[in-house]
A and B are shown apart, each in its own frame.
Chain A
Amino acid sequence: MLYAYLIVTAMAIFASVAAGTFAWSVVAGQFRELDAGARSIFWDEPTDEVHGG
């Protein structure tokens, strides 16, 4: 079971680091940059109507 503890602990550490990084990026204002990123896919077609297909 030693391996299980080691790996699960490593996953937890990894996950905490990821969560911390994201928290930091929010504080540092990167959140807004991300939000602009979410709109970046609309460059090729207008956004205000339903596209079929």
Chain B
Amino acid sequence: MADAHHAQLLARLDASCRRPVLTFLVSAVAWLLLGSLLALIASIKLHSPEFMADAEWLTFGRVRAAHLNAVAYGWAAMAALGVLLWLVPRLTRAPLRGPTWLVGVGWVWNALVTLGVSAILAGYSTSVEWLEFPLPIALCLAVCFAAVAIAAIDMLVRRQVEHIYVSLWYLTAVMVWFPVLYLTANIGLHGGVLTGVAQSMTNWWFAHNVLGLFVTPIALGTLYYVLPKVIGRPIHSYYLSLVGFWALALFYNWAGLHHLVGGPVPMWAVTVGIVASMMMLIPVATVAYNQHMTMRGHFHLLRTSPALRFVVFGGMSYFVVSVQGSFEALRGMSEVVHFTQYTVGHAHLGMYGFFSMIMFGAYYFVLPRLTGREWPSPALIQVHFWCSAIGIGVYFVALTIGGIQQGLLLADASVPFLEVVQATMPWLQARSISGLALTVAHLAFAAGVAGTVFGGPSQDRAPTLLGQPAGGGA
């Protein structure tokens, strides 16, 4: 099908989005590295409180928030928007308009996240989880997001295709969801509109929806694109993928209030949050079933294709983390694990094992197509994959076991509090070690990205695969 006309169109699409996509994707990697450093500092402090204790700006409460915002608004958002700006032209066959503007938006975004993270370290955090940036910075970020959203919707309107592919549904919906969430939450909380527990409810409506209505749809849209493309076979049940979309749109919106189970908020809201969390099993099952059935007979490709390996790992984590999340929302489970490290393990399985792994896969797929250069070294990719996979595995297992233990001890009033603290120590130390593994993974990834983006003139060589494809193809 890739005839001359299509080849020409493809070249035009790639040329239109190359600079903004690279700006976002490369910046995201820089934030990933900084975020890893902040994470390591925070993690070490939690079991060795004297570590850098006299630096006020690096006290645990600040460095933890700085880590979250650097990885959420630096790494995750920039990677997501970079991948989105690459996917939308391919899916609509409409070239991106205003690429130079969007390069500028990328740089302003970097400046804003730098300001925001610095503000947190300097003591200007709002202390509202996921919304720590001061209001002026948040409003400017919203404007930047709007610029990306306008560019994306503009391509959708000018699309040269009859059909809107499922990935595009997810990506387009985010263009509506995130601005509504981000503006409502920031103005409601920091703009003096809401007070008291109404703020807490809006806070968790927002914070859970950042995951559900921003990073999840972008990761799923990417999965529904990369998976069929790499194995050369369409989604097993396309119909089901669309049912999954609307189920996610409907239920995820309401799941956030499970963060306040047992808290001082109206009971009805928590109940709705729990019901919606259980309902999420429906869209999650559609994705898992579709991924498995599409992959069936092609699992051997996981040995050779880096993009596929990362994306499938992410898809599997999505299933695990979502099912875990649904049950975690139940009152009985929440009673034990709510205020413990268990939640931290769950959050990282979602943001890292699911979202970040899919984004890594997308990088492996997108960058060679965009730069005309292949990944410099299969060995670097192997280091990246295994350090990431083992790192997040150890992280999750350590904090899950440690968190359950912590929760059970907390629920037993005869155990002195400081004994509970001591019981978490080995698990927190294991977490620091897993953090080291993840940092090594990110360094290998960054080296690969640098080689691909800033390497010599583009070569015309075969894709960098991890070993010989079975059957001697490619």
Chain A residues close to B by CB (< 8 Å): 1-4, 7-8, 11, 14-15, 18-19, 22, 26, 31, 33-53
Contact = CB atoms under 8 A, between A and B. Distances in A.
Contact of A11 (B9, B250, B367): B250
Contact of B462 (A1, A2, A45, A52): A52
A11 B238 contact: no
A50 to B, nearest CB: 6
B304 A53 contact: no
B310 to A, nearest CB: 11
B158 interface: no
A2 B463 CA distance: 59
Given A18-B250, A31-B239, A43-B93, 5 more contacts: A38-B165, A44-B6, A51-B365, A52-B463, A53-B305
B460 to A, nearest CB: 13
B interface, size bucket: 35 or more
Nearest to B10: A44
B136 interface: no
Contacts of B166: 37-38
A8 B301 CA distance: 43
30 contacts: A1-B268, A3-B269, A3-B272, A4-B267, A4-B268, A4-B272, A7-B272, A8-B275, A11-B250, A18-B243, A19-B243, A31-B239, A34-B239, A36-B163, A37-B238, A38-B234, A39-B234, A41-B234, A43-B2, A44-B2, A46-B1, A48-B232, A49-B474, A50-B301, A50-B465, A50-B473, A52-B305, A52-B307, A52-B462, A53-B367
B469 interface: yes
Contacts of B268: 1-4, 7
Contacts of A36: 163
B463 A41 contact: no
A53 B368 contact: yes
Contacts of B167: 41
Nearest to A7: B272
B251 interface: yes
Interface in B291-305: 301, 304-305
A8 B251 CA distance: 10
A2 to B, nearest CB: 7
Contacts of A38: 165-166, 228, 234-235, 238
A3 B305 contact: no
Interface string B331-348: 000000000000000000
B402 interface: no
- A-B interface, 8 closest residue pairs, ranked by CB to CB distance from nearest: A52-B463, A38-B238, A4-B268, A38-B234, A37-B163, A3-B268, A4-B271, A47-B232
A49 B231 CA distance: 7
Contact of B90 (A19, A22, A35, A44): A44
Given A41-B165, A50-B469, A15 B247 contact: yes
Contacts of A47: 1, 232-233
Interface string B221-248: 0000100111111110011001100110
Contacts of A15: 247, 250, 279
A9 to B, nearest CB: 11
A53 B166 CA distance: 22
A28 to B, nearest CB: 13
B473 A52 contact: no
Interface string B442-474: 000000000000000000001111000100011
A41 B238 contact: no
A45 B229 contact: yes
B474 A41 contact: no
Given A18-B246, A50-B301, A43 B234 contact: no
Contacts of B242: 22, 34
A49 B229 contact: no
A46 B1 CA distance: 6
Interface in B73-109: 90-91, 93
B2 A52 contact: no
B465 A52 contact: yes
Which residue of B229, B266, B374 has the most chain A CB atoms within 10 A of its CB atom?
B229
B254 interface: yes
A37 B268 CA distance: 41
B276 interface: yes
B463 A51 contact: yes
Contact of B238 (A14, A35, A44): A35
B369 A43 contact: no
A50 B267 contact: no
Given A18-B246, A34-B242, A37-B238, A51 B163 contact: no
A40 B243 contact: no
